[in-house]
Amino acid sequence: MNSMKFTLALIGSLCFQLTNAQTVDWTKKANPVLNQINSVAFSSNGQKVLSGTNCHPASIRIFDVTSGTMNWDYTVGSSYMCIMGVTFSSNTNYIAAIEEFGNIFIFDNTGALPVIIDTINTGTSYGFSTAISPANDKVAVGCSNGKMKIYNIPSGALAYDINAHPSWVTTVAYSPNGNYIVTGGNDDKVKIWSNAGTLLHTCTGHTGDITSVKVTPDNNFVISSSKDDKIKIWNISNGTLVKTINGHTNDVNGIDISPDGTKIVSASSDSTCKIWDFLTGNLHSTFGVTDSGAVISVAWSPNGDKIITGNIKSDAVLWSVPTTLSLNQTVLNDNFLIFPNPTQNTLNIELPFEPIIYQINIYNEFGQLEKMYSNIKTRTVIIDTDGLSNGVYFIEVQTHTHKLLNKFIINK
């Protein structure tokens, strides 16, 4: 066994960082009179970008990711105010938008162009945020009067009327598995709910209005941003604070999570966007358009290689995000057992401690992500290397408190 089972101490071990700075693919105006963009979203296939703006007039537009061509331009009527939140359903069949005075627009997106099929009056003074359930059958909205309301799609019937916060429910999000809904309010609190509107946890720690909430792809954590210039990470199962991320010098207006759950992107009134390491909270990079003013909204593409931002000057900016990571030499004190090495089809991993939950990422020698295994809860695990050709690979183990790195060889 000793000939097969050993700790590989790297000579000047490795850490992963984003390589080149983010680059602009295109910049498009989201409003004919250059009103502020309040919300942006990607379609689930990553091919379209949706934006919603201030008024008058308020615009909802769709842009093609590859070309930047505007495919759809919807002007909200003069009887309505600003569009505060926009989103695609995960099957792209629907688009939901919430208007400033609390009206929800539901569009059928199955044809050549979206067609409005319902306008829902929430009966509240203001509306701020919208989210469609992963099952594509409900839309949750955050409103004034302390209300989170959930409506059935496509009937528009009210499913749940929830007193969520004392005043404004500024942001709302579903977990990817649909089991949770998360809200944020101008009471500085984040709240975690069942999908039927039962309060599970109240997260206290921000000192400014909550501007955005997201749930990580593994459904285990909530990420929130606030006008207190901070980002916080919370444990979704008990509502406890895991980490606070500092670095912006003004309101953090929006956040999103990379599809692999390893990075956070944030947009701020300090005119910058930043990419952070989810595990450590360390800053990867800062990017933005010179003299852009406040960056209001941000979304990460499902493909992981693009970010869309929307700013106060009506600029929808598509950025390319390097998916290739550079391998920089640093000192790594923590090692873990991997065997056999070289291997053919499977790899045994043994950690030096008992983690609560962790994730394994496998990168090729160029730093490109090849495989990812999530929600692992045992100290020892066997993973398959099917689909990987002969060569050198790097294996990264991410726990709540550690990032461990090692190297192995495939020789079939």
DSSP state letters, 114-141: -EEEEEEE-SSS-EEEEEE-TTSSEEEE
How far from 49 is each of 40, 67, 99, CA to CA, in Å?
7, 11, 19
pLDDT tens series, the chain, 412 aa: 222 222 222 223 333 333 345 789 999 999 999 999 999 999 999 999 999 999 999 999 999 999 999 999 999 988 899 999 999 999 999 999 999 999 999 999 999 999 999 999 999 999 999 999 999 999 999 999 999 999 999 999 999 999 999 999 999 999 999 999 999 999 999 999 999 999 999 999 999 999 999 999 999 999 999 999 999 999 999 999 999 999 999 999 999 999 988 899 999 999 999 999 888 888 888 888 878 899 999 999 999 999 999 999 999 999 998 754 443 333 344 468 888 988 988 899 988 777 777 888 888 766 677 888 888 888 889 988 888 888 778 888 887 767 778 888 888 7
Domain ends where: 254, 289, 321?
321
Q: Are residues 372 and 314 in the same domain?
A: no
Domain ends where: 321, 349, 364?
321
For Cα atoms 153, 259, 280, give the angle at the middle one, nearest 5 degrees. Answer: 130
Contact 227, 212 (CB under 8 A): no
Q: Regarding beta strands 37-42 and 380-384, do their DSSP bridges make them parallel or antiparallel, or are they unpaired?
A: unpaired
Domain contains 117: yes
Q: Are residues 205 and 229 in the same domain?
A: yes
pTM of the model: 0.76
How far from 387 is each of 304, 307, 393, 401, CA to CA, in Å?
21, 29, 13, 30
CATH at 368: 2.60.40.3080
Q: Are residues 10 and 33 in the same domain?
A: no
Whole domain around residue 185: which residue ranges? 20-321
Q: Which residue has the tokens 């500085």?
A: 188
CA 206 to chain centre: 19
Domain contains 1: no
Give the other-Cβ count within 10 Å of 401's Cβ. Answer: 12
For Cα atoms 62, 297, 300, give the angle at the middle one, nearest 5 degrees. Answer: 70
Q: How many domains does the chain have?
A: 2
Domain ends where: 264, 287, 321?
321
